[in-house]
Amino acid sequence: MRSSFLLLISLASAAQAAPPARVEITYEVSRNGSAVAEVVERLEHGAGWYRLSETWKGKGIYAMRGEIRRSSRGSVGPEGLRPLEFSDERTGRDTARARFDWKANTLTQQYKGAPQTIPLPPNAHDRLAFLFEFAFEPPRDGALTLAIADGRGVSTHVYRPAGKERVRTPAGEFDAVRMVRRKEGSGERVEIWLAAQKSLLPVRILIVQKDGTRIDQVATRISAP
């Protein structure tokens, strides 16, 4: 674990201090090898602030399910990204929202009913922005623990560095650190490849579900307009 952490830090130092002020990443999402969606994620950030948006469009029969649009905005500081507002809009569903009040230390979420407010969990984040946390603040020890809110609830995610890999994507070939989250006893896991040459931005995300289904999200294009 110690060597993996040192590797992460060495790659982070080789990367840019932060991503470009504007960057767009297009991904192809496949399910067990068959393309099901295109995802476009856009990041903008400036002096102490960030905005993120994500759009999913289905392919083939999945196009009939409509779109998913997520957004996150918040602040950027020494501790990395701090979300203020998150939303998750899906065709045919109510919008899920989360609001982070760092002064009052509360988290308010709303989905299919009245808003619910709870104490803000330690290391609180949202479902979209946490993927870009590494680009602004690499983990300080061997693991990164986040309480991730999505408007419906909060779940604890623990990611650990699992070594350096050379990863090939349609967007390019990169030296990357692989971060892994495992759900003990179920076989479920999430793997994220962070590209050193791209400020530790995520260039591949693999989700392996309990039944063995593989959801693979791979970057096809990275641009800084």
Using one digit for the tens of pLDDT, what is the confidence trace for 42-70? 999 999 999 999 999 999 888 878 899 99
pLDDT band of 224, cuts 50, 70, 90: confident
Report pLDDT for 201.
95
pLDDT of residue 73: 98
How many whole angstroms separate alpha carbon 71 and alpha carbon 73?
Answer: 7
User: Which segment of 14-18, 44-48, 91-95, 109-113 scores lowest on mean pLDDT?
Assistant: 14-18
- Alpha helices per DSSP H over 26-178: 133-136
| Residues 6+ positions from 158 with CB-CB distance below 8 Å | 143, 144, 145, 146, 181
The mean-pLDDT minimum among 7-11, 106-110, 212-216, 221-225 falls in 7-11
Mean pLDDT on 135-144: 74
Q: Which two tokens stand for residue 91?
A: 């065709």
pTM, 2 dp: 0.89
Name the token pair of 213: 């289904």
**Alpha-carbon span 178 to 13, nearest angstrom:** 16
Domain extents in the chain: 2-223
pLDDT at 10: 56
Q: How far is CA 201 from CA 18, 32, 58, 196, in A?
A: 10, 24, 23, 8
CATH class (in words) of the domain with range 2-223: mainly beta
- The pLDDT value recorded for residue 125 is 97
CA-to-CA distance for 22 and 55, rounded, in angstroms? 16
Give the CA count within 13 Å in the CB-facing half-sphere of 22.
Answer: 2
CB atoms within 10 A of CB 176: 25
Give per-residue pLDDT as tens, 11-43.
Answer: 555 444 579 999 999 999 999 999 999 999 999
Please give the pLDDT value at position 140. Answer: 58
The CB density around residue 29, as the number of other CB atoms within 10 Å, is 20
**Chain-wide mean pLDDT for the chain?**
90
pLDDT at 120 over 70: yes
